[in-house]
Amino acid sequence: MVKVTERVSWVGVKDWDLRLFHGHELSTFNGSTYNSYLIKDEKTVLVDTVWPPHADQYLERLESEVGINNIDMIIINHMEPDHGGTLGKIMELRPDLPIYCSVKGQESIKAYFHKDWNFIPMKTGDTLNIGKNTITFVEMRMIHWPDSMLLYLSEDKIVISSDAFGQHFCTQSLFNDEVDECVLYQEAIKYYANILTPYSKVINRKLEELEKLNLNIEVIAPAHGVIWRKNPMQIIEAYKKWSGNYSEDYAVIIYDTMYDSTRKIALSLEQGLNNKGKKVKLFNASITDLSNLITEMYKADTLIIGSSTVNNGILASIEVLLHELGSHKLCNKDFMAFGSYGWSGESPKHIHQKLIDAKLNPLRDPVSVNYNPSAEALAEIVKIGEQLAK
Ligand code: FEO
């Protein structure tokens, strides 16, 4: 147990080894944590559980440090298995425990465990007095699941926020003032870019709703990563920016290449952009982590995407990238497509059309080069890069 506020302790699990999450969808190079919290007020309240592979460690510690029989109620903020998955084992030991959750949470818990426990559904504005603290419940629908909820404790002035404001960041301390803040920021924005971008409009509205509640917040305790106790509002301010058509002033060139022709085009575009002072990052998609590429596409204001033509189409790494770009709704970006080809030349056209379909803004027609670009062709492409910068 790690004390967070006078009556709230962290009782979660650190997962130092996690490198891929959501199946293999998301890279987590800094591991993660599953943050379960224990509120010891006049009532003893457990908030969320942990991912089932860590259930034994979690339950042993709960038993030795709290005593599972001493828990009066459990709140499930979100029934994705990394937070609700160990609920079943607790209920085997304590089938009488009341479970507070959202209406959608009750549906999710039933769909996962197929049990009819003592559910007490809560909605936004509902409160629960547990002694010194009154808990206010706020539904956080689609941030990032339909069932997600946030709690505010009136006396300890802590927000327990579920996935919102989290990071996949397992490190020596659980508190933001005791960790590397640059890594923390990078993990927080990677988490936002990869998990929350499809719901940015909902998040923006929810932040306005939370502001109107005038909560006196001293600590924000998410379900993953470190807890925001130094200047906790910084992460709310960051979410306000990130959920509002966010972009930074740089272009990202992402390409895949078979025999270096497409790579030569990429390098010439980079040179042209640099010539006119536009900052550029350049990545070969076939050797770069996809979650990091999604983060870069989310941050950049201009996406320049290229592929060789293969079998009348696009190389697989770029095909996947374009799928992710569409599903993450990264639409407030300018773009240009490029590529090389041996004989048919479909790839740049396909990339261009897919980016149009994803509602990005084309800066110009695609750039396409037959086979190996000549020195003259590359000089022309440098000029195109200069025009893009303008
Ligand atoms: Fe961390 Fe949506 O589960």
Given 202, 225, 242, which residue is the final one in a domain?
242
Write down the pLDDT at residue 104: 98
What is the position in ligand 1's atom list of the atom closest to the CA of 195? 2
pTM assigned to the model: 0.96
Q: Which two tokens stand for residue 80?
A: 């994705």
Q: Which residues line ligand 1 (CB under 6 A)?
A: 78, 80, 82-83, 144-145, 163, 223-224
Query: What residues contact 165, with CB distance under 8 A and at least 6 apart?
Result: 188, 220, 222, 228, 235, 236, 239
Residue that has been written with the tokens 């440098």 in this structure = 382
223 plus 277 within the same structural domain: no
**Ligand 1 atom 2, closest CA:** 80
CA 75 – CA 328 distance, rounded (Å) = 30
pLDDT for 48 equals 98
Shortest-distance Cα residue to atom 3 of ligand 1: 80
**Residues 11 and 125 both lie in one domain:** yes
d(CA 220, CA 228): 5
> Which of 188, 218, 242 is where one domain is finished?
242
State residue 376's pLDDT score: 98
- Same domain, yes or no: 68 and 202: yes
Same domain, 235 and 260: no
Q: Are residues 186 and 324 in the same domain?
A: no
Tens digit of pLDDT at every position of the chain (390 positions)? 999 999 999 999 999 999 999 888 899 999 999 999 999 999 999 999 999 999 999 999 999 999 999 999 999 999 999 999 999 999 999 999 999 999 999 999 999 999 999 999 999 999 999 999 999 999 999 999 999 999 999 999 999 999 999 999 999 999 999 999 999 999 999 999 999 999 999 999 999 999 999 999 999 999 999 999 999 999 999 999 999 989 999 999 999 999 999 999 999 999 999 999 999 999 999 999 999 999 999 999 999 999 999 999 999 999 999 999 999 999 889 999 999 999 999 999 999 999 999 999 999 999 999 999 999 999 999 999 999 999
User: What's the full length of the chain, in residues?
Assistant: 390
CA of 308 from ligand 1 middle (Å) equals 37
Instruction: Find where tokens 């396409």 sit.
Output: 368
CATH number, position 374: 3.40.50.360
- How many angstroms separate the alpha carbon of residue 111 from the centre of ligand 1? 17
Residues 257 and 276 in one domain: yes
Q: Say if CB 227 and CB 175 are below 8 A apart.
A: yes
Q: Which candidate, 112, 192, 108, places its Cα nearest to that of 145? A: 108
What's the CA-to-centroid distance between 164 and ligand 1, angstroms? Answer: 9
Atom nearest to 223 CA in ligand 1: 1
State residue 25's pLDDT score. 87
Residue carrying the six token digits 């058509």: 245
The SS3 of residue 129 is: strand
* Residues 163 and 21 occupy one common structural domain: yes
**Residues 165 and 47 grouped into a single domain:** yes
Residues identified as active-site: 22, 78, 80, 82, 144, 163, 191, 224
Q: Which domain holds residue 51?
A: 2-242
Beta-carbon count within 10 A of 10 CB: 19
Overall number of domains in the chain: 2
Q: Compute the distance from residue 225 Cα to the ligand 1 centre, in Å.
A: 12
User: Do 173 and 27 sit in the same domain of this protein?
Assistant: yes
First to last CA, the chain: 55
Q: For position 265, what pLDDT does the model report?
A: 98
Please state the atom number of ligand 1 nearest to the C-alpha of residue 148. 2
Say whether both 336 and 212 belong to one domain: no
Domain final residue pick, 181, 208, 242: 242
pLDDT at position 331 is 83
Closest CA to 217 of 204, 229, 226: 229
Provide φ and ψ at 36, rounded to 5°.
Answer: -105, 145
CATH of the domain at 93: 3.60.15.10
Are 116 and 152 members of one domain?
Answer: yes
Measured from the Cα of 166, ligand 1's closest atom is 1
The reported pLDDT for the residue numbered 117 is 97
Amino acid at 160: I
| The predicted structure's pLDDT at residue 23 | 82
Do 303 and 157 lie in one domain? The reply is no
